[in-house]
A and B are shown apart, each in its own frame.
Chain A
């Protein structure tokens, strides 16, 4: 969905490096989410934010941090990447009234 963009789309890094994944949206939604997807598993929530001053941990927040720089921008950081953080990462946006979430194209992260 072109309304939700993620950069980079692919990244290969080494253990111990700091990585930032960025998400931008033009949908005007207040809510933003970060998920990871592993082969054969459902999307799992890392962090979410309901507005610029609101940050909440999801079910698998350990090893990650986020920053909500503006309504349209929500970044995910891996302070010290480890191999089991190799996964597909998706950003999503949503609005309260409909609950529906809209996903970005994903970032494929490989940690060696």
Chain B
């Protein structure tokens, strides 16, 4: 899962396996969530999003699951490929003071060939 600190949690998987990256969010009022992929030297790229009125959403090879009861979000990547190696960041729109997103520190996914 994600945490704040100098060292990112790392998930190592074999090419072809499925990957599951977890994220705990803090505000039960958050109603919109996004997963981003950040490759080295680049800005975060949108992967998939989900609103709080849903508990699952599927994209191409990716699925996001939302469990509002325990405030948990996960990203599943099917048949992980070397090109999936990156830092994955979850973001929640807390609808708070700044009406914008709060970002986790990310999980580093390392895909072994």
Contact = CB atoms under 8 A, between A and B. Distances in A.
Q: A and B from one assembly?
A: yes
A44 B98 CA distance: 11
Contacts of A39: 6
Nearest to B43: A103
Contacts of B32: 99
B104 interface: yes
Interface residues of A, number: 25
A42 B100 contact: no
B34 A58 contact: no
Interface string A26-60: 00000001010001111111001000000010110
A1 interface: yes
B43 A100 contact: no
A74 interface: no
B94 to A, nearest CB: 11
